[in-house]
Amino acid sequence: MHKLLCLLFLAPLAVLGQVSWINVDSIFGPLPKNIHVFFSNDSINGKPNKAFYLIAPLKERSLDFSVAIGNGKRYTPAEYHQQNNAPLLVVNTTFFEFVHNRNLNAVVNNGQLLAYNIHSTALRGKDTFTYRHSFAGAIGISKRRKADIAWLFTDSSAKYPLAAQQAVPHFKDSIPVLTRAQLPATATFRKWKMQTAVAGGPVLIQDGQIKISNNEEQRFAGKQINDKHPRTAMGYTTDGYIIVMVVEGRNPGIAEGANLTQLAQLMLSVGCVEALNLDGGGSSTMLVNGKETIKPSDKTGQRPVPAVFIISSPKQGQKRLK
């Protein structure tokens, strides 16, 4: 039995107060005996809250961890669930742009790099002709079923992403597209051979401590990390479990959402040694056996997204999008 289970029901938090988690497997069953779902509606700093997380063992060979993409289209998590033979878990992942339905972050599936980080941003005003280059955080699972969180450089000419194990500061220059030759000498990048991976950011937890790398990644401007929104996050524990969490938000009087510090505290409280923020807001949706956990914040319901993370069983014969 996962050694953290004894802690999952009452986890003291310095910032959030005490948050208790209730096992809700029966609501989302049937589930494999080694997958569990927990729920909390304990308040966050006196504000109403709803959060769910799923925990699964990475070493369990009866489970498959993968990513499904829309190939230029966006689908709701419910549609991905239908298209992929009703997997156990479907959750949103990358940030994206609406015009071309393009992932703005790296995606790896079956060891293949399917989407790339957008590293370079053109600045405006007095900084015209200046470009900011940054490196988004990502979570990956290797063939040996070990998880890792790192900061990635991706290049369409390279088979594998390059990863740094420490946050890489952003920098500016006049070159519009970041190349390998521009990688800062102060950072160490190595090939990141992952079987499955998704990027997002910022990283929330590193080496068991809250270290939000927004200053380096430049994911959110100014004090936006203090804004409360629906959230999606993924992390892993020292004993080989993956944790996927969603926090409901923008639902006045019922669930107001979490800021990034609060999200990091929640992920730390359930045992994550490393954790990553993913696209949130109206995109945040997690399905367990096809059932919604949190209520999506968009008035139209589930938002179509270009990529989702999936946990399934080989018996389900997951099929890929054509």
DSSP string, 55-68: EEETT-TT-EEEEE
At 272 the pLDDT is: 99
Range of lowest pLDDT (101-115, 196-210, 305-319): 305-319
- pLDDT digit string, tens, across residues 225-267: 999 999 999 999 999 999 999 999 999 999 999 999 999 999 9
Asked, for residue 321, whether it belongs to a domain, the answer is no
Mark out the alpha helices in the chain (DSSP H runs).
25-28, 77-83, 214-217, 260-269
Contact assessment for residue 169 and residue 184, using Cβ atoms and an 8 Å cutoff = yes
Contact assessment for residue 122 and residue 131, using Cβ atoms and an 8 Å cutoff = yes
Contacts of residue 6, Cβ cutoff 8 Å, sequence gap at least 6:
none
The boundaries of the domain holding residue 246 are 5-316
Q: Which residue has the higher pLDDT, 177 or 321?
A: 177
Residue with tokens 């990529």, as numbered in its chain: 307
Mark out the alpha helices in 91-230 (DSSP H runs).
214-217
Mark out the alpha helices in 254-316 (DSSP H runs).
260-269
**Rg for the chain, CA atoms, rounded:** 19
pLDDT tier, 146 (very low <50, low <70, confident <90, very high otherwise): very high
At 129 the pLDDT is: 86
Contacts of residue 252, Cβ cutoff 8 Å, sequence gap at least 6:
none
Amino acid identity of 11? A
DSSP string, 191-251: E---SEEEE-S-EEEETTEE--THHHH--S-TTGGGS-B-EEEEEE-TTSEEEEEEE--SB
Number of compact structural domains in the chain = 1
Three-state DSSP class for 100?
Answer: coil
Measured between alpha carbons, how far is 86 from 68 in angstroms, rounded to an integer? 13
Asked, for residue 322, whether it belongs to a domain, the answer is no
- pLDDT digit string, tens, across residues 261-298: 999 999 999 999 999 999 999 999 999 999 999 999 99
Asked, for residue 156, whether it belongs to a domain, the answer is yes
Asked, for residue 74, whether it belongs to a domain, the answer is yes
Measured between alpha carbons, how far is 197 from 190 in angstroms, rounded to an integer? 16
Torsion angle defined by CA atoms of residues 217, 199, 1 and 61, in that order, rounded to the nearest 10 degrees: -150
pTM greater than 0.85: yes
At 215 the pLDDT is: 97
At 224 the pLDDT is: 93
- pLDDT digit string, tens, across residues 45-81: 999 999 999 999 999 999 999 999 999 999 999 999 9
Measured between alpha carbons, how far is 103 from 65 in angstroms, rounded to an integer? 19
- pLDDT digit string, tens, across residues 19-46: 999 999 999 989 999 999 999 999 999 9
Measured between alpha carbons, how far is 46 from 29 in angstroms, rounded to an integer? 31
Q: What is the mean pLDDT of the chain?
A: 93
At 13 the pLDDT is: 47
Contact assessment for residue 144 and residue 191, using Cβ atoms and an 8 Å cutoff = no
At 322 the pLDDT is: 34
Asked, for residue 69, whether it belongs to a domain, the answer is yes
Q: Is the pLDDT of residue 2 over 50?
A: no
Give the number of C-alpha atoms closer than 13 A to the C-alpha of residue 132, restricted to the C-beta side: 16
At 18 the pLDDT is: 78
